[in-house]
Amino acid sequence: MSLPVPRARIAVLLLAALVCLAGCTSGGGSTAPDGGAPTSTTGGAQPASFPGMPPVTDPHNVYADAGANMLSDAVKGAKPLVYVPHTKSGDVWTIDPATFQVVGKYRLGGELQHVVPSWDMKTLYATDDTTDKVTPFDPATGLPGKNIPVTDPYNMYFTPDGKSAISVAEARRKLVFYDPHTWQVQGELPTPQCAGIDHADYTPDGRTALFTCEFDGRIAVVDLVDRKILRTIDMPVRHMRMGPQDIKMAPDGSVFYVADSQQGGLWVIDGAGTKVLREIPTGAGAHGLYLSRDAKKLYVTNRIAGSVSVLDAYTGAIETTWPIPGGSPDMGNVTADGSQLWLSGRYTHEVYVLSTTDGHLLARIRVGDGPHGLCVWPQPGRYSIGHTGITR
């Protein structure tokens, strides 16, 4: 015969059951405030990072190791310069950031798109997708070296372990993987459903990349470990002429921001890369996305509107807009100390320098024809995943 259970104990058991029902369902998941995918609250094991990737030191800010003046030994000997590639005049100009004076002009030929820092941050590459080459620049001198044959390098990225360079072969709808030392082809990944494959950013664990498809109005989600397409995500409005452009992950990995030029703003994609959550209107020709040095602000260049929108990098809330009268701000980056934002003026033969304190123009520098993927160097950080200086 069982003994009677004291009433006090019954009350304790009932309370424990209610607590479990409230907090233990669905594996401890909770729905994000914006209605996005559930986020784990159990503290369970997270997926392993890309093998060989430097560890994330601050999950709330994956860019924490690229803070103001956090220069690694690899870049401390670099000559401070701003590299400006031109799509029309086929040359790279260099600017002294201290004097705002042009100090070098290098005729390379072709259609120069971006100047891209290597994974180890010891070399800069000017990419040319019309004559299938990249030209290395030595950051210590600012001088170009011998051309390297690469298939259709409209843009270029690096795997998180630094063992592969990825040529974003826009015209050929594929990614071409190279050994970044010998420049031998390691393999290719066709992207037939991603016309205008363009810019990319990676999840915090480095295993997944989201590539924009400018002429297909969608995003291609790529497994970087197994090198395969996981899925594509159509934007709510699919623009096929100047659709999705630059993409940037929020510092905590919660979402990705995608600039859509024709839409005039950003699409926000959940951090897992599965769906579009919402839209943030910023201005006509939304194009480039850059973070402040503390990663609290997101700068959005509105190329047609002639302005820069300043957003809270975590929430996406618009804080202010900086006008550039008559300007066409495109691509660039912030300086190592975070005090200036440098941008190419795609259609105005200019480079703009803005104060990140209040957005006022510090300089408008006359350059060549079609300035595009401008690179400010040196940059803080431990390694580069490519483009015009995405460092972590």
Residue 311 to residue 299: CA distance in whole angstroms: 6
In this prediction, residues 73-102 reach a mean pLDDT of: 97
Mention every residue, 6+ apart, whose C-beta is less than 8 A from residue 387. Answer: 114, 116, 155, 156, 157, 199, 200, 373
DSSP string, 24-39: SGGGGEE--TTS-S-E
Mention every residue, 6+ apart, whose C-beta is less than 8 A from residue 289. Answer: 246, 247, 248, 257, 259, 266, 298, 299, 300, 301
Whether the per-residue pLDDT at 98 is higher than 80: the answer is yes
Domains within the chain, CATH numbers bracketed: 65-377 (2.130.10.10)
Whether the per-residue pLDDT at 301 is higher than 90: the answer is yes
Whether the per-residue pLDDT at 45 is higher than 60: the answer is no
Percent of the chain with pLDDT over 70: 88
| pLDDT value, residue 243 | 97
Q: Are 137 and 92 contacting, i.e. CB atoms less than 8 angstroms apart?
A: yes
Confidence of residue 48 (pLDDT cuts 50, 70, 90): confident
Confidence of residue 16 (pLDDT cuts 50, 70, 90): very low
Mention every residue, 6+ apart, whose C-beta is less than 8 A from residue 380. Answer: 65, 66, 67, 68, 69, 70, 71, 72, 293, 336, 391
Q: In this predicted model, what pLDDT tens digit does every residue of 157-174 receive, in sequence order?
A: 999 999 999 999 999 999
Whether the per-residue pLDDT at 18 is higher than 70: the answer is no
**Neighbour-count burial for 48-66, b at 16+ CB within 10 Å, e otherwise:** ebbeebbebeeeebbbbbb
State whether residue 88 is helix, strand or coil. coil
The residue with tokens 């860019």 is: 63
292 CB neighbour count, 10 Å cutoff: 17
Whether the per-residue pLDDT at 75 is higher than 70: the answer is yes
Q: In this predicted model, what pLDDT tens digit does every residue of 128-146 receive, in sequence order?
A: 999 999 999 999 999 999 9
Query: Please, which residues bridge with residue 312 across strands?
Result: 297
Mention every residue, 6+ apart, whose C-beta is less than 8 A from residue 4. Answer: none
Q: Are 143 and 136 contacting, i.e. CB atoms less than 8 angstroms apart?
A: no
Residue 69 to residue 82: CA distance in whole angstroms: 16
Q: Which of 25-34, 89-98, 247-256 has the lowest mean pLDDT?
A: 25-34
| φ, ψ at 300 (rounded to 5°) | -115, 120
**Neighbour-count burial for 102-115, b at 16+ CB within 10 Å, e otherwise:** bebebebebbbbbb
Whether the per-residue pLDDT at 26 is higher than 50: the answer is no
45 CB neighbour count, 10 Å cutoff: 7
204 by Cβ neighbours in 10 Å (0-12 / 13-18 / 19+) ranks as: buried
Q: In this predicted model, what pLDDT tens digit does every residue of 219-263 receive, in sequence order?
A: 999 999 999 999 999 999 999 999 999 999 999 999 999 999 999
| φ, ψ at 193 (rounded to 5°) | -95, 20
Q: Is the dihedral of CA 244, 245, 249, 251 positive or negative?
A: negative
| pLDDT value, residue 47 | 65
Whether the per-residue pLDDT at 6 is higher than 50: the answer is no
**Neighbour-count burial for 143-170, b at 16+ CB within 10 Å, e otherwise:** ebeebeebbbbbbbbbbbbbebbbbbbb
Residue 188 to residue 204: CA distance in whole angstroms: 24
Q: Are 38 and 26 contacting, i.e. CB atoms less than 8 angstroms apart?
A: yes
Residue 131 to residue 129: CA distance in whole angstroms: 6
